Amino acid sequence: MALASELRPGATVRMEGDIFRVVEAVRHTGSAQQKGLVYLKMRNLRTGALVERRLRPDEDVQEVLLERRLTEYLYTDGEAFYFMDLESYDQVAIPAAMIGELEVFLQPNQRVPVEFYQGNPVSVVFPETVDLKVVSTAPAIRDKESHVYKPATLENGLEILVPQFINEGDIVRINVYTREYLDRVEKRG
């Protein structure tokens, strides 16, 4: 057990029968008439939904430890995604709802960590950023402008907005969770 005031982003807790990862924790100190509060923004690891809770700083919260195993993505049948545990070679089925919109970032044979709680998978750990190749985009209207964006299609089929200086064949770094362009990556030899 941990106190609500001790929770930090990245902590994993069990509440209301589900497992949540703390995304944001804001502490508000109280005054003589009003007690302090802890505002938590958490992601439900089963559904991916963001929820917010207000707790008293002295309220007990059940903190849980997750076991992380490296797996290799194999395939999907539409209902679930199948991964192979690289140590035991067991196949692990992850419900499609747990992966959600992040499915576009899964490639066959990609190695990703999967987190388990009491032997059951509860989360696939995606990297914060990925580097992808631009397969189609319009030519630049003005060459050096970086504040004017244009649409581009990436190798995984995702469409994002990129600066004018990005061309077909360029490799771009994007944020997995916001799907926003971050940077152009030097071309690999």
Give me the pLDDT at residue 23, please. 87
Alpha carbons 101 and 41: distance in angstroms, whole number: 20
Q: Specify the residue for token string 């924790």.
A: 25
- The low-confidence residues of the chain, meaning pLDDT below 70, are 30-34, 142-146, 187-189
Render pLDDT for 65-76 as a digit per residue (tens, 0 to 9): 999 999 999 999
Listed residues 63, 85, 109: the one ending a domain: 63
**71 plus 47 within the same structural domain:** no
**Token digits for 67?**
């076991």
Q: What is the CA radius of gyration of the chain?
A: 21
**43 plus 89 within the same structural domain:** no
**Structural domain that includes position 174:** 129-185
Give me the pLDDT at residue 93, please. 93
Give me the pLDDT at residue 151, please. 93
Give me the pLDDT at residue 1, please. 84
Listed residues 63, 78, 108: the one ending a domain: 63
3-state secondary structure the chain: CEEHHHCCCCCEEEECCEEEEEEEEEEECCCCCCCCEEEEEEEECCCCCEEEEEECCCCEEEECCCEEEEEEEEEECCCEEEEEECCCCCEEEEEHHHHHHHHHHCCCCCEEEEEEECCEEEEECCCCEEEEEEEEECCCCCCCCCCCEEEEEECCCCEEEEECCCCCCCEEEEECCCCCEEEEECCCC
Give me the pLDDT at residue 189, please. 47
User: Is 0.85 surpassed by the pTM of this model?
Assistant: no
**137 plus 174 within the same structural domain:** yes
